[in-house]
Amino acid sequence: MGGRAADAILRPENGTMEKATQHHRSAERHRILKGARITFKGHGTTIDCTVRNLSERGACLKVESPIGIPDMFDLVLDNASMYHCHVTWRKATQIGVNFT
């Protein structure tokens, strides 16, 4: 696929990239706004974040900046649930993770 058709699918402002990504997910994500903490370096470093959506396999996290966040970390939700995460994508103020 190329040209204008590919550009239309990949433009986030059209919403089509999100829909295409959602269509290919094996687990449905549920929209939530829940406070959480990204922890790494033996839980010595903590970064606050907001979980935007969550599934049994991963999540989308809102962060101030993805700079300095490692590819693997623990995500601790406000209710004390903890998930081991691997970053799958990064944007200006969001990161996508899979739970390992």
Q: What is the pTM of this model?
A: 0.71
- Looking at the domain assignment, is residue 21 inside a domain? no
- Looking at the domain assignment, is residue 15 inside a domain? no
Which tops the pLDDT comparison, 65 or 22? 65
- Looking at the domain assignment, is residue 5 inside a domain? no
- Looking at the domain assignment, is residue 80 inside a domain? yes
Contact between 46 and 37 (Cβ < 8 Å): yes
Q: Mapping DSSP to helix (H, G, I), strand (E, B) and coil, where does residue 93 land?
A: coil
Report the pLDDT value the prediction gives residue 78, as an integer from 0 to 100.
83
Range of the domain at 70: 28-99
Q: Residue 45 sits in a domain of what CATH number?
A: 2.40.10.220
Q: Mapping DSSP to helix (H, G, I), strand (E, B) and coil, where does residue 55 land?
A: coil
pLDDT digits (tens, 9 = 90+) for 40-98: 999 899 999 999 999 999 999 999 999 999 999 999 998 789 999 999 999 999 999 99
